[in-house]
Amino acid sequence: MAFDYYSSGAWDEVTLRDNRAAFERIKLLPRMLVDVSKRDLKVNILGESLQLPILIAPMAFQCLAHNSGEVATAKAAASTGAGMILSTMSTKSIEEVAASSNNSLRWFQLYIHKDKGLTRALVERAFAAGYKALCLTVDAPLLGQRERDKRNQFVLPTGLHLANLTSMSGLDIPHEQGESGLFAYFAQQLNPAVTWQDLEWLQSLSPLPLVIKGILRADDAVNAVKCGAKAIIVSNHGGRQLDSAIASIEALPDIVAAVNNTAAVLVDGGIRRGVDILKAIAYGANAVLIGRPILWGLALNGEAGVTHVIELLRAEFDLAMALSGCTCIQDIESSLIR
């Protein structure tokens, strides 16, 4: 059940597969005879420095993979110089994750609940705990149908809870067998009536910059910036929402052009190698989000497993830069790709 929850996509999983295939279709045109004896992988995102252009994507229920869950992931991100986005639906609390990884880049991913008081409380807790931005997921007004979860009647095992919510309101994923406890939670608690007009209210709750995650269209990206977003995450939710949606990397160039440097642009979905990071940055991304590979490392060996995955990606990205004739992030530009 846990493996299928992490690995599955919506319906026929067309988008899930295409996220990966789209990266493989991109070809590189490397530069030669460049002095690449020294490389600098550092990047600045919303005023915060990262040692490499990687943030860990917001992913729910990480204690399904390892009993340290999001705390192990946060520690690994901090030790490697990567960023992390904590899911609202985490199995370790906002405060516990913050305490485990002081002075690292952490954003808090948010869904707007039907209970606006609950949403307000989550924002206030994230701000108080030192998170650097609010990351609003906008591509899930309803939960995509993940048929593997439906067949498995996905529920959280006894002992695991929505750590950010149970202490506040008694909300939790149902533990009883049924079609899908996750589907039931979304239907009961998350607000499908959210529109662009709600972003002003959300931003009034704290001074944290707003990041919008789940954008695939250029006009939506422009609207997000007009509504105050400081960063856009180009994403199809890992192929878990609308099946047959465009691959994230294929949506990226039009969004970068439309935003035109008025906001940071990040991308997720299908990134499995350091060369994929190079391709995303060449298409105009400021950084990437890594999802499922982090969960596999976490499941294998907790914090050390996540650290190993990030270090593999760092080494591969560093080598891809050198072999492409790039000494820093700014050297990675559109002439490198076809």
Tens digits of residue pLDDT in 139-170: 999 999 999 999 998 888 889 988 998 866 55
β-pair partners for 175: none
Structure tokens at 63: 């204690």
Structure tokens at 316: 């591969």
**Residue 4: predicted pLDDT:** 97
Does residue 157 have a known ligand-binding role? no
What one-character-per-residue DSSP string does 250-308 give? HHHHHHHHHHTTSSEEEE-SS--SHHHHHHHHHTT-SEEEE-HHHHHHHHHHHHHHHHH
**Residue 188: predicted pLDDT:** 83
Please tell me the distance from the alpha carbon of residue 248 to that of residue 92, in angstroms, as a whole number: 29
CB neighbours of 220 closer than 8 A, spacing ≥ 6? none
Residues of the chain with pLDDT > 70, as a percent, come to: 95
Q: Looking up tokens 């994507």, which residue turns up?
A: 57
Q: For residue 167, what are the domain limits?
A: 2-336
Q: Looking up tokens 């939790």, which residue turns up?
A: 172
Q: Contact 241/144 with Cβ under 8 angstroms? A: yes
Residue 176 has pLDDT above 60, yes or no: no
Residue 113 appears among annotated catalytic residues: no
C-alpha neighbours within 13 Å on the C-beta side of residue 41:
23
Residue 264 has pLDDT above 90, yes or no: yes
**Residue 172: predicted pLDDT:** 63
Does residue 30 have a known ligand-binding role? no
CATH number of domain containing 110: 3.20.20.70
User: Which range, of 189-193, 231-235, 281-285, averages the lowest pLDDT?
Assistant: 189-193
pLDDT in tens, 61-119: 999 999 999 999 999 999 999 999 999 999 999 999 999 988 789 999 999 999 999 99
What one-character-per-residue DSSP string does 52-120 give? SSEEEPP-S-GGGT-TTHHHHHHHHHHHHT-EEEE-TT-SS-HHHHHHHSTTS-EEEEE--BSSHHHHH
Q: Contact 293/262 with Cβ under 8 angstroms? A: no
Q: Contact 275/320 with Cβ under 8 angstroms? A: yes
**Residue 180: predicted pLDDT:** 58
Does residue 111 have a known ligand-binding role? yes
SS3 337: strand
Does residue 268 have a known ligand-binding role? yes
Number of domains in the chain: 1
pLDDT in tens, 7-35: 999 999 999 999 999 999 999 999 999 99
Residue 335 has pLDDT above 80, yes or no: yes
Which member of 66, 113, 161, 237 is catalytic?
A: 237
Residue 219 has pLDDT above 70, yes or no: yes
Does residue 240 have a known ligand-binding role? yes
**Residue 181: predicted pLDDT:** 63
Please tell me the distance from the alpha carbon of residue 245 to that of residue 14, in angstroms, as a whole number: 8
